């Protein structure tokens, strides 16, 4: 009987030591700066600050019924990601809408396109110089590797002063000192009041199609797709700010 009790006691101690030796989920996140000299604990949340210079944001838009697409880039003004032990995310980004560029057209045509996109027909950047996205919820879709996750992000996208909810998938890599996230979101521009040459006007006799003095079928060739695709490759500044 004593031998059995001794064996059970030994097993219990060994199991306790194993459990206590497990690394916390976010152990690889090493802080470069600790606020107020507090010690990092497994329950702390951390804030990842985005690197505005190294992060890349691109856009694609084009015709609804044609093969013509245009693409370009935009710059981030600021951004951060708050992450908890159980990989719940919050935070967001602010985009400089006046930084829009085009990649596919020659000089001249490029300037005309960007000038039009910045005008009141589209994004009216003089009145609305920034766009923003704020995370409201997140859910892990897949754990790709030890500290790399595919996550569904839901949040509020604000363009031209109008806010709508959007969802998209991102892959976030927390393995190294510089964190990375990449993904793609698609939004409908008409939800934000950007209706220039939108398909919704094809059946509207009071729209600009009448002013073109052309048939509906001919006008279709000039319809601009409602969906705009935004791709991003985000890099953080080194380290993690801990509360």
Structural domain spans, the chain: 25-242
Query: Hunting for tokens 């059995």 — which residue is that?
Result: 4
CA distance 57 to 130: 14
Q: What is the pTM of this model?
A: 0.78
Exposure b/e, 1-15, CB count within 10 A at least 16 = b? eeeeeeeeeeeeeee
Q: Which residues pair with 133 in a beta bridge?
A: 93, 157
CA distance 68 to 165: 28
pLDDT at 22: 38
pLDDT at 15: 39
pLDDT per residue over 12-32, tens digit each? 434 344 333 333 333 334 433
pLDDT per residue over 182-223, tens digit each? 999 999 999 999 999 888 776 665 666 555 555 556 666 688
Higher pLDDT, 242 or 228: 228
Which has the closest alpha carbon to 84: 36, 37, 149? 149
Q: Of how many residues is the chain composed? A: 243
Calculate mean pLDDT across residues 139-147. Answer: 93
Q: 25-242: what CATH class?
A: mainly beta
Is the predicted pLDDT of residue 10 greater than 70, yes or no?
Answer: no
Query: Hunting for tokens 């409908």 — which residue is that?
Result: 188
């Amino acid at each position: 009987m004593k031998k059995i009790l001794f064996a059970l006691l030994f097993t219990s101690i060994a199991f306790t030591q194993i459990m206590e030796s497990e690394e916390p989920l976010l152990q690889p996140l090493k802080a470069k700066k600790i606020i107020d000299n507090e010690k990092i604990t497994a329950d702390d949340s951390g804030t990842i600050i985005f690197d505005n210079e190294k992060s890349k944001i691109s856009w694609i838009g084009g015709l609804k019924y044609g093969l013509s697409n245009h693409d370009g880039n935009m710059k981030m003004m600021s951004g951060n990601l708050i992450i908890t032990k159980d990989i719940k995310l919050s935070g967001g980004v602010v985009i400089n809408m006046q930084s829009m560029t085009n990649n596919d057209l020659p000089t001249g045509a490029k300037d005309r396109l960007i000038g039009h996109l910045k005008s009141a027909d589209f994004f009216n950047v003089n009145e609305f110089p920034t766009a923003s996205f704020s995370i409201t919820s997140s859910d892990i879709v897949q754990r790709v590797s030890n500290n790399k996750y595919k996550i569904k992000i839901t949040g509020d996208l604000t363009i031209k002063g109008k806010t709508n909810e959007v969802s998209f998938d991102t892959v976030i890599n927390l393995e190294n000192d510089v964190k990375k996230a990449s993904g793609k979101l698609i939004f409908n521009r008409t939800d934000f009041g950007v209706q220039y040459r939108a398909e919704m006007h094809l059946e509207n006799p009071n729209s600009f199609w009448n002013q073109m003095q052309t048939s509906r079928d001919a006008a279709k060739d000039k319809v601009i797709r409602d969906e705009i695709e935004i791709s991003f490759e985000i890099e953080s500044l080194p380290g993690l700010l801990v509360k």
